[in-house]
Amino acid sequence: MKRLLVLFALVGFLTSLPIKYAYSATALAEKKIKEAKTCIHNVSVQEAKKLIKNGSVILDAREYPEYAAGHIPGAIWAPRGLIDFQGPTWFPDKNKTYLTYCKTGGRGVIVAYELKELGYDNVVNLDGGFDAWERDGEPIEKGAPEGPGKGIKK
């Protein structure tokens, strides 16, 4: 009986854990991604590394748990749902180069598009997102962000 209770407790615990960031795009999200891709340049991991080396601001458009679990070193947490509200406050210099990314590229390209619509001239998106960065064996950092939009190097 005790083993059965332990088993039920374990199964209950495991089923209460969230699926690791599994998202499926809705028709609306797919429409936004398609529209954004028409005017946003996607860059490879190698191109992104060059941009970062040259001082580009790296924006992570993912959710808090995703950022905390691992992000590109130096990335600023800029969640997709807040960029059109806070972008100009968080990133007042519209002349800098901004590199956006998310898990696979969808949310990142939408953030890049929204920044472009807000008047930012130099915005690109990491093709394949964080998954591509990680797959190429590039370094990652783990840990909580300073806060949304915080951590920009002057």
| CB contact at 8 A, 63 and 145 | no
Structural domain span for residue 121: 26-135
- Count: domains in the chain: 1
pTM over 0.95: no
In tens, the pLDDT along 60-105 reads 999 999 999 999 999 999 998 899 899 999 999 999 999 999 999 9
What is the per-residue pLDDT for 120? 97
146 falls within a domain = no
15 falls within a domain = no
Q: 99 vs 6, 22, 67, 131, CA distance in Å?
A: 48, 23, 15, 15
Output the CA torsion sign for 128, 134, 140, 144.
positive
Q: Nearest to residue 110, comparing CAs of 61, 65, 64?
A: 61
151 falls within a domain = no
Please state, in angstroms and rounded to a whole number, the distance separating the CA atoms of residues 145 and 148.
Answer: 7
14 falls within a domain = no
| CB contact at 8 A, 104 and 126 | no
152 falls within a domain = no
In tens, the pLDDT along 99-144 reads 999 999 999 999 999 999 999 999 999 999 999 999 999 999 999 9
CATH number at residue 63: 3.40.250.10
61 falls within a domain = yes
3-state SS of the chain: helix, strand, coil percent to 5?
A: 45, 15, 40
DSSP 81: G
DSSP 25: -
What is the per-residue pLDDT for 24? 66
3 falls within a domain = no
150 falls within a domain = no
